[in-house]
Amino acid sequence: MSHWFAAEIIGGGRLRLFCFFVMFLATFLFIRFSVRMIRKQVKWWPGNVTPGGLHIHHVVFGMVLMCLGGIGGLAVQDPRSWVAALAAGVLGVGTALVLDEFALVLHLDDVYWAKRGRLSVDTVFMAGALTGLALVGVSPLAIDAFDESVLNGTLTVLTNLIFASVCLLKGKVWTGLIGLYLTPLALIGAIRLARPGSPWARWRYREGSRKLARAAWREQRYREPIERAKHAFQDLVAGRPSA
């Protein structure tokens, strides 16, 4: 394990990314445990931070730590030093705290335990997945997979961006974002039917058309069971939203 860490993480120039990833996951798991203890009103666990009766959400601490970690990381000259690793870890802590309340910031309302608050968990899971892919060496836009001229490489990147954008327009957020790293996934998502209610479906599928009917059938047959399984896992990790 030590040889792998030295060769792949340190030697591969991914020490900062590793520290960011570890602290990001650890902080998310900790803060979710904390808020669940507060929600259950467990006496032995500290409550919310409320100086003078003002509830300070942890997104505030997250923004401060993101600034410290980001600016500190930019000021470090040696990307392999322990100071650079520390700055990346601080950035990971701050990012986790901010994204854990992403829905609250988006709606400017305390929807943390509402169903709309699931968006925060989705965002954290997505950020973790993308960071994990980068950590194992999967490059965004598959740039490193092509040893070609600048023109061909640029065309490859643009094509991949188009595929990913089509996926997003079709309502396939996970497929589109991860497709930036995995081109075949983006291509498959761009070819297949859009989700009903997505911008693509509203623009391209007429009311009562066969395509819209097939999209609705696929949503009910395949997408909804996957969503239920995903929500069950998210509730296990992050807590169930209020009714």
Q: How many domains in the chain? A: 1
Is position 220 within any domain? Answer: no
Instruction: Please report whether residue 188 resides in a domain.
Output: no
Does the residue 196 lie in any domain?
Answer: no
Residue 234 within any structural domain of the chain = no
Residue 11 inside a domain? The answer is: yes
The domain in which residue 117 lies consists of 1-137
Per-residue pLDDT 10s for the chain (243 aa) are 777 777 778 778 889 999 999 999 999 999 999 999 999 999 999 989 888 889 899 999 999 999 999 999 999 888 888 899 999 999 999 999 999 999 999 999 999 999 999 999 999 999 999 999 888 877 665 445 444 566 666 777 788 889 999 999 999 999 998 888 888 899 999 999 999 999 999 999 999 899 999 999 999 999 999 999 999 999 999 999 987
Q: How far apart are CA 171 and CA 203, in angstroms?
A: 13
Provide the CA 238 distance to its chain's centre, in angstroms: 15
CA–CA separation, 139 vs 130, rounded Å? Answer: 10
Does 94 reside within a domain?
Answer: yes
For residue 111, the tally of other CB atoms under 10 A from its CB is 19
Domain contains 238: no
- Write out the two tokens for 92: 């990971």
Rounded-to-5 percentages of helix, strand, coil across the chain: 75, 0, 25
- pTM score, two decimals? 0.85
Please enumerate in sequence order all residues whose Cβ is within 8 A of that of 185, keeping only pairs 6 or more positions apart, or say none: 175, 178, 179
Give the list of residues 6+ apart from residue 211 with CB closer than 8 angstroms, or none.
Answer: 193, 204, 205
Does residue 86 belong to any structural domain of this protein?
A: yes
Q: Distance between CA 138 and CA 182 in Å, rounded?
A: 8
